[in-house]
């Protein structure tokens, strides 16, 4: 039996669409699921306002109570740590080589291979979420300046008291998903009155994906909570033709392997469902 090329192409497109839909349905944060939340704050381009009742912003929240619940930021704090390090002159640009005290932060058996490279710059340290380098940065910045900037940024509960080099690793500082997107909005619009070069460098290291339709800037974060489960974050913003869209997603899973398998995929699925990607 002969099958036309047109039918074959149609079948391929149908299967591709079906697979995409199933993937989105599989990776979702659903209302009522107490283990996850997703927050999306969209700043819309002015030319679209006439079609949207002149609303300049739109807010979507899945699981409102959890969205307002503060958690440890874990490595999403690297966004803040990076900004402070640049503003205080400890980092000049994304290619600056960064080091850390290997006697104070010796390699541990659980470290991933990407934490054992011979050299890192800001771009690579941010990308692989190199914790010891960022712990060293916090120490170099110092408690006085760190607290001053955390206050200036109105970052979460502003509490860095637990320990200077790990207060964001299930320590004293806590932040909710709603506060994450509000912080990102303040950063993006430079309401914090930072140097333009600082913002440009931050965007450079946060850039995850560029397509003809959008640019995605994001950071992961994960760690063990007090109940021994794993908490995972994916936060950032998307630039597309409709505007800028700030998002924060967090989720709990019993094991890191389970968390890692769904964290980014679920956040991306939510962004697709919202029409942002």
Show me where the domains of the chain are located: 5-273
pLDDT digits (tens, 9 = 90+) for 203-234: 999 999 999 999 999 999 999 999 899 999 99
The class (CATH top level) of 5-273 is alpha beta
Is residue 1 pLDDT above 50, yes or no? no
Residue 39: which of 20, 58, 22 has the closest Cα? 58
pLDDT attached to residue 94: 95
pLDDT attached to residue 48: 58
- Rounded Cα gap, residues 14 and 16, in angstroms: 5
Is residue 60 pLDDT above 50, yes or no? yes
Is residue 7 pLDDT above 60, yes or no? no
From the CB of residue 270, how many other CB atoms can be counted at a distance below 10 Å? 24
Residue 56's pLDDT band, with cuts at 50, 70 and 90, is confident
Is residue 16 pLDDT above 70, yes or no? no
pLDDT attached to residue 19: 44
Look-up of token digits 């869209």: 245
pLDDT attached to residue 29: 95
| Residue 144 in tokens | 């006085």
Percentage of the chain modeled with pLDDT above 90:
84
pLDDT digits (tens, 9 = 90+) for 116-131: 999 999 999 999 999 9
Does the pTM surpass 0.75? The reply is yes
User: Mean pLDDT across the chain, nearest whole number?
Assistant: 90
Residue 27's pLDDT band, with cuts at 50, 70 and 90, is confident
Is residue 173 pLDDT above 70, yes or no? yes
Residue 4's pLDDT band, with cuts at 50, 70 and 90, is low
Is residue 21 pLDDT above 50, yes or no? no
pLDDT attached to residue 186: 97
Residue 240: which of 48, 54, 20, 19 has the closest Cα? 48
- Rounded Cα gap, residues 190 and 165, in angstroms: 26
Where is pLDDT greater, at 23 or 122? 122
Out of 12-26, 67-81, 140-154, 196-210, least confident range: 12-26
Q: Average pLDDT in the 148-175 region?
A: 98
Is residue 53 pLDDT above 90, yes or no? no
pLDDT attached to residue 6: 57
Percentage of the chain modeled with pLDDT above 70:
87
pLDDT attached to residue 68: 98
- Rounded Cα gap, residues 58 and 39, in angstroms: 11
Residue 216: which of 262, 277, 129 has the closest Cα? 277
- Rounded Cα gap, residues 224 and 74, in angstroms: 9
Does 140 qualify as catalytic in the annotation?
Answer: no
pLDDT digits (tens, 9 = 90+) for 73-106: 999 999 999 999 999 999 999 999 999 999 999 9
Phi, psi of 104 (to 5 degrees): -80, -35
Instruction: Name the active-site residue from 42, 72, 75, 129.
Output: 75
- Rounded Cα gap, residues 40 and 12, in angstroms: 33
């Amino acid at each position: 039996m002969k099958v036309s090329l047109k039918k074959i192409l149609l079948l391929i497109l149908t299967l591709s669409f079906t697979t995409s839909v199933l993937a989105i349905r599989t990776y979702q944060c659903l209302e009522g699921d107490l283990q996850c939340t997703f927050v999306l704050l969209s700043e819309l381009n002015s030319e679209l306002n006439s079609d949207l009742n002149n609303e300049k912003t739109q807010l979507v929240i899945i699981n409102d109570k959890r969205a307002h619940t503060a958690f440890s930021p874990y490595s999403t704090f690297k966004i803040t740590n990076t900004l402070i390090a640049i503003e205080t002159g400890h980092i000049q640009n994304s290619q600056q080589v960064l080091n850390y005290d290997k006697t104070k932060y010796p390699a541990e058996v659980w470290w991933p291979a990407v934490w054992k490279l011979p050299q890192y710059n800001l771009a690579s340290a941010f990308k692989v979420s190199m914790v010891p380098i960022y712990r060293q940065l916090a120490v170099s910045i110092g408690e006085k300046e760190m607290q001053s900037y955390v206050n200036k940024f109105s970052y979460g509960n502003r509490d860095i008291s637990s320990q200077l080099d790990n207060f964001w690793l299930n320590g004293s500082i806590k932040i909710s998903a709603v506060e994450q997107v509000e912080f990102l909005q303040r950063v993006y619009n430079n309401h914090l009155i930072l140097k333009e070069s600082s913002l440009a460098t931050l965007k450079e290291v946060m850039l995850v994906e560029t397509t003809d339709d959008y640019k995605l800037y994001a950071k992961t974060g994960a760690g063990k909570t007090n109940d021994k489960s794993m908490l995972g974050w994916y936060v950032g913003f998307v630039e597309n033709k409709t505007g800028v869209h700030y998002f924060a997603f967090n989720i709990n899973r019993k094991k890191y392997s389970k968390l890692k398998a769904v964290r980014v995929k679920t956040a991306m699925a939510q962004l697709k469902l919202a029409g942002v990607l």
